[in-house]
Every structure is written in structure tokens, then in C-alpha cells.
Amino acid sequence: SQTIHQWPATLVQPVGSPLSLECTVEGTSNPNLYWYRQAAGRGLQLLFYSVGIGQISSEVPQNLSASRPQDRQFILSSKKLLLSDSGFYLCAWQGARWGTEAFFGQGTRLTVV
Amino acid sequence: AQSVTQPDIHITVSEGASLELRCNYSYGATPYLFWYVQSPGQGLQLLLKYFSGDTLVQGIKGFEAEFKRSQSSFNLRKPSVHWSDAAEYFCAVGARTGTASKLTFGTGTRLQVTL
């Protein structure tokens, strides 16, 4: 069966420090991968998605970037964190076939201080 | 662009009572629709989905949802709520973009269950 791993679970980082969140998927090949951010009291905002290695689409201009160095690995990064980057970050994968559901990781709580 | 509206931010029901969470969507083509549940500090778990066929969809944990095209709605229901159902519930609509599918989520409804 497919599983998705996301780490770390929690992270406290100072303003201006770099960020790297990692997500890996097991049990499937060539998944579509997604990074979402969830702010308190708000829904999920799609940040990036990827349909293949090295292919990244950005949904929202921001201080973050994403990379997909391997088929089942998706990384969210920042060179210098801002206070506004605080939030709950969720990685998800979907099959490429139209109509399939997304499966989510357990999320990373990022607090920028 | 697609959008999802969940008009109820917070709902409180008594254990054993029935539940209906509202969801309205906007999408220019035939939608595919989802309901997810999120416990505090956790990821999202799929409750059910609608893609085509029967407009009444059964999900896990005793939940069901009905797709009504004329009302652009996909409301979630449960006949008898359990205390463990307390969580946040998200409705989502899927849209195709190139070779990817993107989900647009509503802002969520937080369910509180009183004993």
C-alpha cells in the first residue's frame, strides 16, 4: 500500500534562517506531488505541485520554492524565512489518473520566531 | 476558477444527533468532489468522494454525501454523531490542469460534539 512520509513534525526557526521540509512517497510510481499550507482558521492553500522529476508549478508568489529531485521525493525550501511563513505545511500525492483522491502526510508545524 | 464555500465555520451537535455540513462549489465542468476530515495537528483523511454515477455517496465512519448539480452542493451527513467525530471537515473540488489534478478546498467546518 502507499504511504507518505513528511518530516519534521514540528519546527521552530528564527526569521532569516533557511528551511527544508521533505516529503517522500512509498508504494507508487510517478505520483503527482503537492505542497499545501494551512493557516489558522483558513483552508488549505496550494503552494506547489509537480507532475514529474524536476517539474514544479508554483501557485502563489512567495518566499518559498520546491524541488523534486527524485520521483517520490518532494522538498519545500526557503533561503530566508519570514514571520508570515509560519503555518502548517502538508504534503500530498495523487495518482495521475483524473478523478483520484489526494493522500496527505501528517504535516509539519512551522513556527518562525 | 473553481471555488468551494463552507458557510458554517463552527457547528456544535449533541452526541447521537444527526449532522449535516454544507458545501457549495463553483466549477465550470463536471466536478469531482471530496470530503476530508482533520483531527488537530494531523493530516487530512478522506471520508468520501464523488466522481460520477450515483449522487448519494457512502463513505467511511458512517458518513454520506449527496451531490446536487442544480444547487452546486455536496453536503455531508451522518445520522448519529459520535464524540469521536469532533474534528475539522473540509470539502474540496478537483479540477484538471494540464496533466495534473488540483484540489481547491473550502475553509473548513469545525465540529464540536457535546455529550
Neighbours of B36 (CB within 10 A): 24
Which chain B residues in 7-46 lie under 8 Å from chain A, judged by CB atoms? Answer: 9, 32, 34, 36, 41-46
Q: Which residue has the cell 493557516?
A: A39
Which residue in the set A41, A51, A103 is minimally distant from B100, CB to CB?
A51
Residue of chain B minimizing CA distance to A91: B43
Which residue in the set A32, A41, A105 is minimally distant from B43, CB to CB?
A105
Banded model confidence at residue B52, pLDDT cuts 50, 70, 90: confident
**Residue A89 in contact with partner chain B when CB distance is under 8 A:** no
Mean pLDDT value across chain B? 93
Which residue in the set B98, B100, B108 is minimally distant from A43, CB to CB?
B108
Interface test with A, best of B25, B36, B44 (most A CBs within 10 A): B44
- Judge contact between A2 and A101, C-beta under 8 A: no
Query: In this predicted structure, what is the pLDDT of residue B57?
Result: 96
Q: Say whether pLDDT at B39 is over 80.
A: yes
**Residue B107 in contact with partner chain A when CB distance is under 8 A:** yes
DSSP characters over chain B: --EEE---SEEEEETTS-EEE--EEE-SS--EEEEEEE-TTS-EEEEEEE-SS-SEEE-GGG-EEEEEGGGTEEEEEESS--GGG-EEEEEEEEEEETTEEEEEE---EEEEEE-
Banded model confidence at residue B97, pLDDT cuts 50, 70, 90: confident
- Cα angle B72, B74, B76 (rounded to 5 degrees) comes to 155
Query: In this predicted structure, what is the pLDDT of residue B20?
Result: 98
